[in-house]
Amino acid sequence: MAWTGIKEFAESLDKKRELIRVTEFVNPILEITEFADRSVKNNGPALLFENNGTNFPVLINAFASDKRMAMACSRKTFEEIPDEIGKILGNLLLPRQNLIGKIASVPGLIKFAGLMPSRHRQRGRCQSVIHRNPDIGILPVLKCWPHDGGCYITLPIVHTYHPETRMTNAGMYRMQIFDNKTTAMHWQMHKTGANHFEAWKKTGRIMPVSVALGGDPVYTYAATAPLPENIDEYILAGFLRMKKVKMVKCITNDIYVPEDADFVIEGFIDPSEPPVVEGPFGDHTGFYSLEGLYPKFHISCITHSKNAIYPATVTGIPPMEDAWFTKTTERIFLKPLQMTILPEIEDLHLPPAGVAHNLAIVKICKKFPGQGLKVINSIFGAGQLMFTKYLIVVSGNIDIRNYKMLANHLFMNTSFENDVIFCKGPLDVLDHSSETEAYGNKMGIDATIKMQQEIKYKTEEVNPDYYRENLNILVDKGLIKGFKMISDGMNIPALIISIKRINGITNIAKVKSGLIETEAGKFFRLILAVDEEVDLNDFFIVAWYILANSSPIRDTYYISDTSILIDGTIKAFGPSGFPRKWPNIVCSDEKIIIDVDRKWHRCIPCEFIPSPSLKYKVLQQGNSASVNTETENEHS
């Protein structure tokens, strides 16, 4: 069924015991984030904060479970979606060789056409209340983390169009509030909104922009989906909910927005204005994205429906709510990827620890030698998958979401000497590990089952206990703080080490030499290095930390012909003179944690959940959005 708005969706969540209504006052400044973080990291419910100092409730964590995400897409499960999308794409993309084939495609196309968005001139429910002298302060906009540059709208559906082609886009770009009538517009260089902005700049005219919040929750997902440019996001929304989206014209510009949106913020961007400083912001990477220059958005009008609910999300150390958006994208876009680029793909997984762009795992049906390498090269140039930093390709009877099985498969079928590709290309703007913004290097691993023509790795029987004593020598020498042999419990020839900082610096060269002296490479084929504060027993955090903090070419070292070390430590303090500021870990501050502890049982009728930040604060370096500048200056 299609939802009539966020209010109906929230009521349904409430009936299914997927939502808690919080009637106690909770401050949108930092407190709502702390409640949400505790809930999402413990598979908790959606939260509706009805008392926040404004006239509008805040709905958060609404998408943070398989059940709620399926409900948001108007489905009971996701399994039915890929086949339906495949049929539609088949009708649209495959050539028809004869009349019978063309006739056979008509029913599907008719059904598809019936789901196209429709435009209407009359006012919609989203315009029940009109504020022609707007003040964004009427909305309960969140400040999420202590070092954020301000309050941010975190689930905006930003509507723009190209001045010449008139092609539309609905994208999700965070918006920092500056005052009651202006915000920043954080569209990154690769985004369609930024492309539209550059086109408007050439015309010398004011760029109209309208921002929708709420409405049918499927709109929010559609705005995040990796659709090709010039494909209307409301086509996908209409298909998922099996009902066309009714669009109405804005009050102060000619942009059309969903009739059932909860809020619409209308305005413009003047391309002749200089960009403004935006940020920092506690981002989905788990680190702060630091200050940058972005366009200023001027608000000309705010409209909203009666009984509107303000939707929000919080990003931070994964897993967070956005992980379910990524999971949905895996399922929906596998079939299009098969049909348009790589027919051999059988499955695609973007693990939460990789925050969507740091790690992708692909399973293929392998039929010829070199096919794994072919897929690696293709994916590094495929749509938004071009941002992938680490890519693993496998084949055979394997569940790529079973990480123990995946690890065993990787070591059985991979020679790090022959099956690893390094290359350079575009990276996500939020990747902080590269010396250059939005550009850096990548690693592809061909872990497919090798054929006769391909080089196979031969395993050697070695007792890991022999190396335990030598690793303890490195601990005694102060080169490493500790180590975790994954072979102990999982029979995987991998090692995690934590490296001590000496005078604020981790010396990876000395650690590498020490590992070579211990001959660790004869058994440990993969060695992962993290900072001394990281808990080596928490494999999820180790994976997240390594993937975020390493740049594959710079930070991969060969310990032997068959063994590699990946350095996932902070680079800001190193002798290499890292050229960019290194962001800090995102955590709540102690005061907010204590305040929420005191409020918990008055707000949440379930078992007390301690703050996740208590676990992660040890990873912070100093008390700012970037790592401690005083330490940086001491060792510069």
The answer to whether 289 and 280 have CB atoms below 8 angstroms apart is yes
Angle of CA points 498, 503, 507, to nearest 5°: 45
Distance separating the N- and C-terminal Cα atoms of the chain: 60
The amino acid at residue 515 is L
- Residue 514 C-alpha from the chain's centroid: 36
Structure tokens at 49: 């904060």
- CA dist., res. 321 & res. 309, Å (int): 18
Task: Single out the residue of 251, 252, 215, 253 nearest to residue 233, CA to CA.
Answer: 215
Whole-angstrom CA distances from 395 to 123, 381, 448, 521 are: 54, 21, 5, 26
The three-state secondary structure class of 626 is strand
256-258/246-249 β-pairing: antiparallel
The amino acid at residue 408 is N
Enumerate helices (H) and strands (E) in the chain, giving the number of each.
19, 30
| Tokens 């123990």, residue located | 404
The answer to whether 129 and 304 have CB atoms below 8 angstroms apart is yes
- CA dist., res. 355 & res. 284, Å (int): 7
Alpha helices in 233-349 (DSSP H): 233-241, 322-340
User: How many residues belong to the chain?
Assistant: 636
Check if 567 is active-site: no
Q: Which of 37, 148, 216, 283 is catalytic?
A: 283
Q: What is the DSSP string of 579-617?
A: SSPPBPBP---HHHHHHHHHHHHHH-SS-----THHHHG
| C-beta contacts of 338-342 below 8 A and 24+ residues apart | 338/86, 339/86, 339/89, 339/90, 339/93, 339/94, 340/89, 340/93, 341/378, 341/382, 342/375, 342/378, 342/379, 342/382
Residues 6+ apart with CB under 8 A from 4: 216, 260
Residue 393 backbone dihedrals phi, psi, to 5 degrees? -115, 130
**What one-character DSSP code corresponds to residue 32?**
H
User: Which residues are catalytically annotated?
Assistant: 283
